[in-house]
Amino acid sequence: MSSSTLNQNEVDKFSKMAEDWWNPNGVCKPLHSMNRLRIPFVRDRLVPQVKTDTPLKGFTILDIGCGGGIVSEQLARLGATVTGVDACKENIDIAKFHCSRDPTTKDIKYLCTTVEDFAENSELKFDAVVASEVIEHVDNPQLFIQTISGLLKDDGSLFLTTLNRTTRSWLLAIIGAEHIMGLLPVGTHDWNKFLTPAEVEMMLDTAGMGTKVVNGMLYVPGVNKWSWFPDSSVNYALHATKYL
């Protein structure tokens, strides 16, 4: 078994996109819009009854593949103690610069590292791990899931968003989004690396985690809006917890 999930070609792709993370009209525009779903998804699954502006205060969260920090910053604003890791130095540099200007995000800890190296060199255990739009870019996803399990406290939560491997996802996410509408650079995704929810659930079970919920997600490019959708054949969000 490979000892790393790092795919250098994938890292190189995103290093070229690094300066676009905080461009409201750039290629990361759909990811910013996705926050309207994925941030409440994390918040509400961790704290079912939100009663304060900082409901995640006291929670430690690891954001894997944090990019420029667009998820990390919003989780920090909700009170979480956030660590962001990314194998792309350009992403980490952007994330550090952007968060330093806001007192609510300046304490985020960003590290340029793979998740395996981080796990090997840290004794920290987290209440939650977020891996959003990441697993479809790694090598050896089973090792990736197993490493995440080792970083979670007992009963800790994994929040994952990714793309399903279906004909519909190939038509919409590859042909439509990359080749026709130009929402993403051509080659951003490899359809063969997409994982079905069933495949992810099997990996989670092997790693000592159980799936709590899988929600389908739908993106409407014309209005740049995401919504929950009963069909998970293209995008989906998954919440799992580590067995006690």
Domain presence at residue 227? yes
Angle (CA) 62 94 26, round 5°: 105
CATH number at residue 16: 3.40.50.150
Per-residue pLDDT, 18: 67
Q: Dihedral through CA 29, CA 95, CA 38, CA 140, nearest 10? A: 100
Domain presence at residue 184? yes
Domain presence at residue 1? no
Domain presence at residue 2? no
Low-confidence residues of the chain: pLDDT under 70:
1-3, 6-7, 9-18
Give the pairing type, strands 225-229 and 209-220. antiparallel
Domain presence at residue 210? yes
What is the pTM (predicted TM-score) of this model? Answer: 0.92
Per-residue pLDDT, 179: 85
Q: Dihedral through CA 28, CA 34, CA 35, CA 37, nearest 10? A: 180
Domain presence at residue 236? yes
Domain presence at residue 3? no
Angle (CA) 122 125 128, round 5°: 125
Q: How far is CA 36 from the centre of its chain?
A: 14
pLDDT tens track for 38-86: 999 999 999 999 889 999 999 999 999 999 999 999 999 999 999 999 9
CB neighbour burial string for 92-124, b if at least 16 within 10 angstroms, e if fewer: bebbbebbeeeeebeebebbbbbbbbbbeeeee
- Write the CA distances from 193 to 26, 189, 224, 226, integer angstroms: 25, 8, 25, 23
Per-residue pLDDT, 233: 97
Residues spanned by the domain of 89: 8-242
Share of the chain above pLDDT 90, in %: 80
What gap in Å lies between CA 12 and CA 134, rounded to an integer? 14
Per-residue pLDDT, 17: 65
Domain presence at residue 66? yes
Per-residue pLDDT, 186: 82
Q: What is the layout of strands, in order, in the sheet containing 235-242?
A: 109-112, 81-86, 60-64, 126-132, 152-163, 235-242, 209-220, 225-229
* Tally of domains in the chain: 1
Per-residue pLDDT, 2: 43
Angle between helices 141-151 and 197-206 (to 10 degrees): 50
Q: Find out whether 86 and 72 touch, Cβ atoms under 8 Å.
A: no
